[in-house]
Amino acid sequence: MMIKKFFTFSLALSLSACGSDSAKQSQLPSDVAPGTTQNIILMVGDGMGLTQISAAIEEHSRKLEMERFQVVGLSKTRSAKEQITDSAAGATAFSTGVKTYNGAIGVDQHGRARETILELLGNKGYATGLIATSVITHATPASFYAHEDSRQNYYQIAADMKKAPLDLFIGGGRKHFENRTDPNNGKTDDRNLIEEMQTSGFSFVNSLAELRKAKGKVGYFLADGHPDPILKGRGDILPRSIPTAISHLRSRTERGFFLMVEGSQIDWGGHENKIDYVISELIDFDEAVGKALDYAEANGNTLVIVTADHETGGLTLAGEPGEDGKTSYTKAGRQFASHGHTSAMVPVFAYGPGSELFAGVYDNNEIHAKMMQALALDK
């Protein structure tokens, strides 16, 4: 009953969005019916649990973009071998549909490479993209294009990108592609992956303005290593990159696109137990969510999913009784119980055709199955 209600609601939204934007709708290939899932934008707030979102709601001057969602589910995050997952196993569950061991990048618990949704869709002719506010070789984005038994294999992960059907990336990590020094052993090599990728059709840009003019496959390094945190001046590149990335993916093909976006540093604020770091990164990620929702509302055939790989820090939002006898939320009550990840379930928000599949309580790897089902590729 509940599911039917969600379905009716999301379908109604999709149809009304179609009606209000006939120009964009007319760009759809003629064989794509309105209200079917053609594009997926999967957005991962690393370390973003319900208390992180609640803290941002309390702090932010207006409603969070995430409050626009009508369909909400809960994801059980444990990995195949551990009760508390890391980002590699978490992202591999989303990308391949299998739970694996912590540290695994695109491989199952026996170390076997598993095709990722990005590879599957890319090989079927969809345009594919990745955006992250960490190095693009970090666990979450890497798990969509690389197959390595350890997330620490940055050298090999970068080389794996060359083999993937990837049309666009935006993130840090130029140092893993040229002037390379292997972080595992300090050895340098002569391999220049940027030149190698240029030979195989990639171009590299240094701004969104350049990206708007670029044709073909394109990479945009935001930094040599990790991009700065918001509090140290990164600016709003993450939300601003969303519309540009979407238009680029759409210019590649009419077939459809898959875009994964990670707000990478919410997790790092949690590890450092710095609430301002968490909230500033979460609000930046939320702005990006708003851009994706704006597009999906206008387009009508785009499924947007926002979730997390795990909660980080065991954040609590405790209150204290005030003089009026009412218990209030206090900034001093924002305490972390841990410097690591926790096993708390994390929310899943969904909008667009297929969003009704994401209501309920389920394991993180089922998000992969639900995306495949939404695209009618589960048979």
* Contacts to Zn ion by CB under 5 A: 267
Q: Are 99 and 367 in contact (CB under 8 A)?
A: no
- Degrees, nearest 5: CA angle 75-66-365: 20
Q: Which of 10, 14, 75, 87 is catalytic?
A: 87
Q: Pick the closer one to Zn ion by CB: 119 or 284.
A: 284
Is 262 labelled a binding residue?
yes
Minimum distance between the CB of residue 271 and Zn ion, rounded to whole angstroms?
6
Is 189 labelled a binding residue?
no
Q: Pick the closer one to Zn ion by CB: 267 or 281.
A: 267
Is 271 labelled a binding residue?
yes
- Residue 213 CB-density burial (10 A; 0-12 exposed, 13-18 middle, 19+ buried): exposed
Shortest CA distance to 371 belongs to which of 292, 269, 259?
Answer: 259
Is 309 labelled a binding residue?
yes
Instruction: Classify the phi-psi angles of 313: left when phi > 0, otherwise alpha if psi is within -120 to 50, otherwise beta.
Output: left
Minimum distance between the CB of residue 87 and Zn ion, rounded to whole angstroms?
6
Report the C-alpha gap between 181 and 277 in whole angstroms: 29
Minimum distance between the CB of residue 103 and Zn ion, rounded to whole angstroms?
12
Minimum distance between the CB of residue 88 and Zn ion, rounded to whole angstroms?
10
Minimum distance between the CB of residue 340 and Zn ion, rounded to whole angstroms?
7
Is 87 annotated in the active site? Answer: yes
Instruction: Please state the separation of Cα 127 from the chain's center in Å.
Output: 16
Q: Are 117 and 368 in contact (CB under 8 A)?
A: yes
Q: Work out the end-to-end distance of the chain between its first and last CA atoms, rounded to an integer number of angstroms.
A: 25
Shortest CA distance to 10 belongs to which of 348, 296, 294?
Answer: 296
Q: Pick the closer one to Zn ion by CB: 132 or 357.
A: 132
Minimum distance between the CB of residue 342 and Zn ion, rounded to whole angstroms?
11
Question: How is 198-235 classified by DSSP, letter by letter?
Answer: HHTTEEEESSHHHHHH--SEEEEEEESSSPPPGGGT--
Q: Pick the closer one to Zn ion by CB: 46 or 148.
A: 46
Q: Are 72 and 349 in contact (CB under 8 A)?
A: yes
Is 210 labelled a binding residue?
no
Report the C-alpha gap between 100 and 170 in whole angstroms: 26
Q: Pick the closer one to Zn ion by CB: 267 or 284.
A: 267
Q: Which residue is nearest to Zn ion (CB)?
A: 267
Amino acid identity of residue 26, one-letter, is S
Is 310 labelled a binding residue?
yes
Q: Pick the closer one to Zn ion by CB: 267 or 297.
A: 267
Alpha helices in the chain (DSSP H): 2-20, 22-25, 50-59, 87-96, 117-123, 139-142, 154-161, 193-199, 208-213, 237-252, 266-271, 275-299, 366-374
Active site residues: 87
Give binding residues for Zn(2+) as ranges. 46, 267, 271, 309-310
- Binding residues, by number, are 46, 138, 140, 262, 267, 271, 309-310
